[in-house]
Amino acid sequence: KPIDTEYKFEERDVMLYNIGVGAKRTELKYVFEGADNFQALPTFGVIPPFNVQNTFTFDEIVPNFNPMMLLHGEQYLEIKKFPIPTSGTLISRSKLLEVVDKGNAALAKTGVTTINKATGEEVFYNESTVFLRGCGGFGGQRKPADRGASTAPNKPPARAPDAIVESKTTDDQAAIYRLSGDYNPLHIDPEFAKVGGFKMPILHGLCSFGVAGKAVFERYGAFKNIKVRFAGTVNPGQTLVTEMWKEGNKIVFQTKVKETGKMAIGGAAAELVAAPKTK
């Protein structure tokens, strides 16, 4: 039975999130509560449900669970209602959707519904997949189920991107982003990161997701859903290059690390609320 988890927030939390995914001091609509069009970036929708209480523990669903070996694999977010509130109390409920056996690794997918406590209206729906290294080989299903937009492969078209946005993260990006609720030591503690197999603490997947989502939002406007696969790790301080293709009402995108040329986000797309003004 789902467990209700409450998330109470105020404008300060929205500003902290916006800055955590790269908003600048000059972007008043994201960083100044007194701005006329003060707003949460659409990807803020992953924050209220982040610390939702699950109905299971990882030890119950996979063998050899080790938190140091957990990576964020995929994220899908639906924004059910605009404008996104900038304060209030929301309630999230989580459900285990599936556990997939990849041989070496396991995937665990949860679906979380977030409602506004005051009105009962649904505000966000999230699906999160975690990639659990060393937890496979238990004889489970090998392929994730088809869940429409949440699992679409979103292969970019062969033509050159319609838009490219470069976003430099700062060395302190993960230290700021974590204050929005993901306190996983993997992103701040060098010792923990080392045991997890990394030279230094890595950036939160959902931070890169926010940076890429901001690029899509600013070029094409509000989206009703967005899906990403975390294809490679990002270090704080690296530059994220988001390439976008407009395919009707859908923006297919991918994000690479400029310094290495490696993919950070793939299989990604956002479906727009309204037809875009420009290509």
H-assigned helices in the chain: 11-20, 28-31, 58-61, 173-177, 190-195, 205-220
Q: Give the C-alpha separation, 193 to 211, whole Å.
A: 22
DSSP assignment string, 98-140? EEEE-SS-EEEEEEEEEEETTT--EEEEEEEEEEETT---SS-
Touching ligand HDC, residues 225-244 (CB under 6 A): 229-233
For 49, the token pair is: 């449900």
- Closest CB 49 distance from ligand HDC, rounded Å: 7
The answer to whether 182 is a known catalytic residue is yes
Touching ligand HDC, residues 118-137 (CB under 6 A): 128-131
- Closest CB 221 distance from ligand HDC, rounded Å: 25
**Which of 31, 71, 96, 149 is in the footprint of ligand HDC by CB under 6 A?**
71
Stretch that binds ligand HDC, among 13-21, 33-41, 69-77, 252-260 (CB under 6 A): 69-77
Residue 17's identity, in one-letter code, is Y
**Which of 18, 20, 48, 74 is in the footprint of ligand HDC by CB under 6 A?**
74
* CA 210 from centroid of its chain's CA atoms: 6
Size of the site for ligand HDC (CB under 6 A): 22
Distances in Å between the alpha carbon of 191 and those of 21, 66, 134, 196, 200?
A: 25, 15, 20, 9, 8
- Closest CB 94 distance from ligand HDC, rounded Å: 9
**One character per residue 178-207, x = contact with ligand HDC (rule: CB under 6 A):** ----x-x-x---------------x-xx--
Which residue from 95, 109, 107, 110 is spatially nearest to 142, judged by alpha carbons? 107
The answer to whether 202 is a known catalytic residue is yes
In degrees rounded to 5, what are phi and psi of residue 165? -125, 130
Count of residues in the chain = 279
224 interacts with ligand HDC by CB under 6 A: no
The answer to whether 187 is a known catalytic residue is yes
Residue 230's identity, in one-letter code, is F
- Residues paired with 92 in a beta bridge: 5, 114
- Closest CB 215 distance from ligand HDC, rounded Å: 18
Closer by beta carbon to ligand HDC, 223 or else 230 = 230
The residue annotated as part of the active site, out of 182, 204, 265, 266, is 182
**One character per residue 24-63, x = contact with ligand HDC (rule: CB under 6 A):** --------------------------x-------------
Interacting residues toward ligand HDC by CB under 6 A = 50, 71-74, 102, 107, 128-131, 182, 184, 186, 202, 204-205, 229-233
Catalytic residues: 182, 187, 202, 205
